Amino acid sequence: MADAAPASLELRGIVKIYPALRALDGIDLTLLPGEIHALCGENGAGKSTLARIAAGKILATEGSVVASGPVGLVHQHFELVDRLRVWENVVLGREPRRGGRIDAAAARERVRELSRRYALAVDPDAVVETLPVGIAQRVEILRELAKEPSVLVLDEPTAVLAATEIDALFATLHTLAARGAAILVITHKLQEVIGHADRVTVIRNGRIVSSALTATTSLGAIAHAMVGGDVPALATRTRAPLRPAFVATNLCAGTGAHALHDASFEVCGGEIVGIAGVEGNGQAALSDAIAGILAYEGEMRLRDRPLPPDPAARLVAGVRVIPQDRRREALVLSWNIVDNVALGDHARAPLRRGFNVERGAREALARRVVERFDIRTPSIRACVASLSGGNQQKVVVGRALSCEPALLVAYQPTRGVDIGAAALLQSRLIEARNDGTAVLLVSFELDEILALSDRVLVMYRGKIAGEFERGSFDRARIGALMAGGA
Amino acid sequence: MKNVRDAALFAAVLTALAAGAMLLAGANPIAGFAALARGALGGERQVSETLVQTSALLFPSLAVAFAFRAGLFNIGAEGQLIVGGLFAGLAGAAFVAPGWIAIPIVLAAGAIGGGLWGGVAGVLRARFGGNEVIATLMLNVLAVLLANYLIVGPLHSPNVAGPETAELPSSSWLPALLPHTRLTIAFAFALALAGLLRYVFARTVFGFELRAAGEAPQAAARAGIDLRRTALVAMTVSGAIAGFGGATLVPGVLHRFNVELSPGYGFIAIAVALVGGLDPLWIVLAAFAFGILQSGSLTMQALAHVPKDVVSVVEGLAILGLSARRFATRAPDVA
C-alpha cells in the first residue's frame, strides 16, 4: 500500500443521525486502488449505513465522501427486477438506444463482454426469477460493473452463497482488484476476512474501533473488537442418553423450487441434528410442515405417536418451531413481552383460568424468560417492537424453550443477531439438548451447524444428500454436497 | 385515539375542517357552531335526543371495532343493522306479550338477524377466502332490498299501507330512561356493551386470540389460533352487535321497522370506531361527539344557514384521514 497512491474512496468525519439514533459517529476510512478491504461489525453497528453513504445512496448528516470514479453497490437483498431478463437488469436506467428504441443487441453484447472480462458466466437472456441465488448475485455484480466503477461495495455478499460459490465470488473480486478497483466487503464471516481481505476495519456503535492489515491480526482479535469484550463460551454438551423422539418418513411438502422431496430422518431426544444447506433448498418447507401450517405427504411421529394435524395440538404435544421471520411469524410487534411470551401457550393452564387470561402466571413466565435469556429491556411491559433484533429473538427462543419441548425446530435461530446474543442462544439450545429435547437446527451458516450439531444432514434441492456424525464432520465434503456435488 | 393529547389534537383538526367547510358554504362558522351546540345540547330535550343518536351510533361502532380488532374490515354494519331491525320488527309485530318477555325476544331476534348477515361474510371469508370488504359492502345493498321485498311482499302486514311492518304493541316498547323523551334503556345497554367488550379484549383468552389474529395473523396461526374460525366468529359477533343496535331502534324509537330506520349509522360508525382508536371507552366519547353532529345539524341548518351536509363532509374527512393513517402505518419496514 504505497502512501503515494491516490485514494479511490475517501470518507472523512462521516456522521449519520436518524431521528432516534446516531448510526455513524465520525467515520474516517480510505480505500486504495487494488485493495480488498473488509468492514466488520455486529448487527446495528452501522455497516450498511456506511455502505450506502459510500455509494451515494443516502446522504451523510456530516462529513465528506470523495471518490475517484463511480461507486458500485451490491446489495445484501438483491435489487433486481425479477420478471426482467439478465441483460435488461444490467442496462436498466442506462439502456443503449437506437432510434427511439432500446438497442437489445448492443445491450446483450455489453453483458457478454463484461461476463467474459470478469469470468462471471451468465446467460443474458435468462429471466432473473428463474436463476439460483448465486447466479442472481452475479447479475447484481455485473450491473454494478457495467458502470465501470473505481470502487465496488458489497453488503454481506456471502450470506446466501454456498462455500464453492463464495470462493468463486472472491476470485472475481481479486480479478477486479488486480485491475485497479478498490473493493469494500461488508461481512460478519470472519474466516472470509482473514482468507481474502488485505485490510480489515471493525466498527462498533457507529465508530471505528480497530483497523489493521489482515496479515497482522487474528480471528480472535477481530471478534474481540466487534463485541467489545470476550465472546462468551458455549455451554458444554453433556453426554445424554439418546431417546427416540421424532421420526419423519417419506416427507414431501411445498411446491416448486423450494419443495421438500421424500425426506426420511430421525431426531432423538438429547441430540442436535443440523440441516446444512444453502437457503431455498427445502428447509422452509420442512420447518413449516413440522409446525403444521403447510400441507405435506408422508408421516411424522413424535414419541411413538403420529403428530396431530393442527398447529394447536402440536403445541400441546410439545412441538416448538422457531420460525425464520421473527417479526411476522413469531411475534406480535405491537404487543409487550408478557403477551408475546404467552402466545402459543395462552389457551392452557397455567396461563389460562376459565375464560380469562391468568395475568399473574403470564407475568411470572415473562420475568423468567427475561432473566434466563438476559433480555435487555426496561420492563416486561415494553413493546417488543422497541427491542433490538437480538432481544426480540431471545423472546422467541425463550418462549419456545419455556416448556421443555419434546421437539424444537430452530430455523436460523441466530440470523441477524449479534455475536454475544448468538452465543447465548446457542448455549440455550445445547442446554435444551442436554435436558433431553430433540433439536432440529436449520442454519445457512455452516460454522454454526458444525459447532452445535451431533449429527448433520445435508439438504440439496429438497432432498437429504448426505449424513455426518459428530467427530467425522468433513467440511469440504459437506460444502460440496450443499452445492449439489456427488 | 390512544390518549387525551391525540384526542384533543384530532378534535381541533376536525373543528378547523368544519369551520372551513362552513366558510366554503358561505356561512359564519361561529354562528354555525353556536347553532350546532344549541341544537344538540341546548336543553333536556336536545341532550336526550343527542344521547339517542349516541346510542344508535354506539352499537354499530362497537361492531365495527370488534371486527377491526380481529383484522377484518367490516364495512357492512349498516346492512347488519338493517337486517337486525327487520328481524326485530317482524318478531315485535308477531308477538303480543308482556314487555319482560317480548322485549328480550325482539332484541334477540335483531342480534340473530345481524349475526346471520355478518356470518354470511364470515363464511365467505373463512371458507372461500373471499374479501370481507367487498362482501360486506355488497351485503349492505342486499339488506335494504331484502327488507323492502319482505315487508311489501311475503311478510306484508295487512293493516299497513307503506313499506313497513305493523306498529309494535306499546307493551313491547323499550322503557324510557327520561320520561317524555325518546331516550330508552338502549343507551344503558350500549354503555354496558362497551364495558363488556373492553373486558373481553383485555382479559379473556377469546379476546387475546382475536387481537393476535388481527395484529399478526401469521404469528397467530403458528401459535395454534385457527384463523378461519376466528374470522367466522368475529364477523358473526360483529354482525350480532350491529343487529342488536338496529333492533333497539325498533321498540325504542320507531316502534315499527322500515328501511328509514338508519340515516347511515353503520357507515358513520366506521368513522366513530376509527376516531375512537378501536378502544371501546374512547369509542363512547367519539359516538357522543358524532351524536352531537347528528342531532344538532338540523338546527344548524335552520338557524345559521349552514347546510347539514357539512356534517357528512366532516365525517367523510375523518374516515379518510384516519384510514390513511391506519394504512400508512402498515407500510413495509424500511431497513
Predicted pLDDT at A219: 85
Predicted pLDDT at A267: 97
Query: Per-residue pLDDT averaged across A316-339, rounded?
Result: 93
Please tell me whether residue A31 adopts helix, strand or coil conformation: strand
Distance (Å, rounded) from C-alpha B67 to C-alpha B84? 17
Q: Chain A interface, mutation test: which of B205, B210, B326, B334, most A Cβ atoms within 10 Å?
A: B205
Q: What is the pLDDT of residues B30-71, one digit of tens each?
A: 988 899 899 999 888 899 999 999 999 999 999 999 999 999
A51: CB partners within 8 A, 6+ apart: A39, A73, A153, A155, A184, A186
Nearest to B212 among A48, A315, A343 (CB): A343
Contact A173, A196 (CB under 8 A): yes
Q: Is A449 exposed, middle or buried (0-12, 13-18, 19+ CB in 10 A)?
A: buried
Distances (CA, A) of A463 to A136, A281, A460: 23, 8, 5
Roughly how many angstroms between the first and final C-alpha of chain A, as a whole number?
A: 43
Which DSSP letter does residue A85 get? B
- Report the range of poorest mean pLDDT among A39-48, A56-65, A143-152, B231-240: A39-48
Predicted pLDDT at B3: 67
Contact A290, A282 (CB under 8 A): no
Residues of chain A positioned with their CB less than 8 A from the CB of B205: 346-347, 352, 355-357
Residues of chain A positioned with their CB less than 8 A from the CB of B222: 291, 293, 311, 321, 323, 329-330, 344
Distance (Å, rounded) from C-alpha B15 to C-alpha B22? 10
Cα angle value A191/A193/A199 (rounded, 5°) = 150
Which DSSP letter does residue A130 get? G
Q: Do A329 and B224 touch (CB under 8 A)?
A: no
Task: Work out the percent of chain B whose per-residue pLDDT is above 70.
Answer: 96
Q: Which three cell numbers stand for residue A362?
A: 403470564
Distance (Å, rounded) from C-alpha B198 to C-alpha A47? 45
The residue in chain B having the minimum alpha-carbon distance to the alpha carbon of residue A46 is B335
Please tell me whether residue B182 adopts helix, strand or coil conformation: coil
- Rounded to two decimals, the pTM is 0.81
A342 touches chain B (CB under 8 A): yes
Contact B276, B282 (CB under 8 A): yes
Element (H, E) at A24: strand A21-31
Contact B102, B250 (CB under 8 A): no
Predicted pLDDT at B321: 77
Q: What is the pLDDT of residues A120-136, one digit of tens each?
A: 888 999 999 888 777 88
A244 touches chain B (CB under 8 A): no
Distances (CA, A) of A249 to A63, B76, B293, B327: 60, 48, 66, 45
Please tell me whether residue A132 adopts helix, strand or coil conformation: coil
Residues of chain B positioned with their CB less than 8 A from the CB of A347: 205, 209, 224
Q: Do A332 and B212 touch (CB under 8 A)?
A: yes
pLDDT at A91 over 60: yes
pLDDT at A475 over 60: yes
| Number of inter-chain CB pairs under 8 A, A vs B | 69
Q: What is the pLDDT of residues A233-255, one digit of tens each?
A: 889 988 878 999 999 999 999 88
Which DSSP letter does residue A235 get? P
ipTM: 0.86
Nearest to B222 among A311, A346, A357 (CB): A311
Element (H, E) at A475: helix A475-482
For B4-328, give the CATH class: mainly alpha
What mean pLDDT value characterizes chain B? 89
Domains A9-227 and A243-329+405-482 share a fold: yes
Of A429, A412, A391, A419, nearest to A220 (Cα)? A419
A428: CB partners within 8 A, 6+ apart: A235, A372, A373, A397, A398, A401
Roughly how many angstroms between the first and final C-alpha of chain B, as a whole number?
A: 28
Distances (CA, A) of B274 to B7, B62, B210, B234, B277: 12, 10, 18, 18, 5
- Strands A36-40 and A407-411 come out as unpaired
The per-residue b/e assignment along B192-210, b for 16 or more CB within 10 angstroms, e otherwise, is: ebbeebbebbeebbbbbbb
CATH level 3 topology of A243-329+405-482: Rossmann fold (3.40.50)
Band (B198; pLDDT cuts 50, 70, 90): very high
Q: Chain A interface, mutation test: which of B69, B203, B222, most A Cβ atoms within 10 Å?
A: B222
B330: CB partners within 8 A, 6+ apart: none
In angstroms, how far apart are the furthest CA atoms of chain B?
Answer: 69
Contact A151, A181 (CB under 8 A): yes
Distance (Å, rounded) from C-alpha B176 to C-alpha B136? 33
pLDDT at B1 over 70: no
pLDDT at B4 over 80: no
How big is chain B, counted in residues? 335
- Radius of gyration of chain B from Cα atoms? 20
pLDDT at B332 over 50: no
Q: Do B216 and A332 touch (CB under 8 A)?
A: yes
B41: CB partners within 8 A, 6+ apart: B47, B50, B292, B296
Query: Per-residue pLDDT averaged across A189-196, rounded?
Result: 81
Please tell me whether residue A347 adopts helix, strand or coil conformation: coil
For residues A190, A195, A196, A200, the Cα torsion angle rounded to the nearest 10 degrees is 50
Residues of chain A positioned with their CB less than 8 A from the CB of B212: 332, 343
Q: What is the pLDDT of residues B129-173, one digit of tens each?
A: 888 999 999 999 999 999 999 988 888 878 777 788 888 888 888
B202: CB partners within 8 A, 6+ apart: none
Task: Please give the single-letter amino acid code of residue B14.
Answer: L
Cα angle value A307/A293/A323 (rounded, 5°) = 100
Predicted pLDDT at B333: 34
Question: Any bridge partners for residue A274, and if so which?
Answer: A441, A456
Distance (Å, rounded) from C-alpha A473 to C-alpha B53? 75
pLDDT at B330 over 50: no
| Domain residue spans of chain A | 9-227, 243-329+405-482
Task: Work out the percent of chain A whose per-residue pLDDT is above 70.
Answer: 98
Distance (Å, rounded) from C-alpha A223 to C-alpha B50? 69
Cα angle value A407/A408/A411 (rounded, 5°) = 145
- Residue A245's φ and ψ, nearest 5 degrees, are -135, -75
List of E strands, A59-134: 62-67, 71-74, 97-98, 101-102
State yes or no: cis peptide before A350, omega within 30 of 0.
yes
The per-residue b/e assignment along A122-135, b for 16 or more CB within 10 angstroms, e otherwise, is: bebeeebeebeebb
Q: Which CATH architecture has domain A9-227?
A: 3-Layer(aba) Sandwich (3.40)
